[in-house]
Amino acid sequence: MPEAFSFERRVGFAETDAAGLVHFSNFFRYMEEAEAALFRAIDWPLFTSEQGVIAGFPKRAAECDYRRPLYFDDVFTIEVALRKLRASALTWQFTFRRGPDVCAYGQYTTIYARRDAASEGIAPALVPDALRERLERYCTEEPADAQK
């Protein structure tokens, strides 16, 4: 059974429109904040820079399905699950809740990639084994040797 990870947040005034509703684009920022909080919880940096090589998790695809609005000053929780843990890719699922109500479902896929600072090239790399071990407890998908 995967562990649950959740991140609580309050809607700021600057995140809303003139009607006091959260602008849709902020849900993507909230997802990234929740991802960063999970990485802090497992004591792993979201990106590294060593000897001119930068490694991190650029987004490959992102989506959000909105169900109920969030308003200025609402306190909400983002539940985070790792749907897929592949050799170079992570697919995250986010559930936004205000109390018992689901406000949105989000998902994105990140690619673990490395970039040599001396060049403009970026290339997928294998998710480090130590990171994979820390993330497996949040993964809703059964691990398979073929995915590694």
Q: What amino acid positions are annotated as catalytic residues?
A: 17
Q: Which contacts of 10-14 are long-range, i.e. CB under 8 A and separated by 24 or more positions?
A: 10/73, 10/74, 10/75, 10/76, 11/70, 11/71, 11/72, 11/73, 11/74, 11/76, 12/72, 13/72, 13/73
